Structure 1
């Protein structure tokens, strides 16, 4: 029996970088890109949303933001190819802040949802006319806005995946691993 045909044989040293469970390689550049794109996408939401929250509500917002940053890094680790597409879409979402229609609509939808369920209280003394003072309320507000923007970014990234050449979004090592490489002898 030939060694390469033995299904019980341990894999040989391949010389490829560490692969994820999905056969993709660890992508350091995706981590760096995600961190920068994440920070760039915070400009308008923090500009408008920070004044809406008070005291502990800001703590809830910060916890949600750290969660989004960590979830994005985990996504880069577990699915680097899909993460690169989402990062490309996040660039579009970030650039759209020049005319922040998407961000404002997302914030208004979130405010309406949270007002209807009683998580946000109307307060005329507050600079924004609303009061978000609890950790849970700040967390929920940030979670809804963040998820809305991430869905838009992921959709834009998938669209870019169809429109752009694959070489722009997939690294050479990802292509090699996805075609079932042969080990070096």
Structure 2
């Protein structure tokens, strides 16, 4: 699966406008009954390296391993291929990867509210993110579209345009954050 995604800062002066759009737009569906979801990620690296190799995510009582292969990054968006699978035991997984020479690089925790924006037949995931370690700067709005692995350049460009259009509607297009979370958290 290819993931096209971007994030932008939501400052105090933006919150009302963004929340009004997310809760009142006809194109928006509130997911998970509006409940807050906590995503806890443990990022792994090879011992002696300083690059994230993969992550273990805990979300809604399940554990998912994700390896992202960055296809390319523009200023506004990044396009990744993802390999993802579920594991049943966090402890056994930690033990297994340590035996293979990996170590925990850092942990991040996001508290999110999820929404789905539907444009024509395209379903766009929007997450309003409060993140430990970054809340002093503001909250973030993440927007993600999934495409098939064999998506054409035209399809990917259309997904990127859809993401940027939402940021423009919300007047956040000048607050797009290109840095990965690890860099924002001072991990590398």
TM-score (norm 2): 0.23
Higher strand share: 2
Larger radius of gyration: 1
Higher helix share: 1
TM-score (norm 1): 0.23
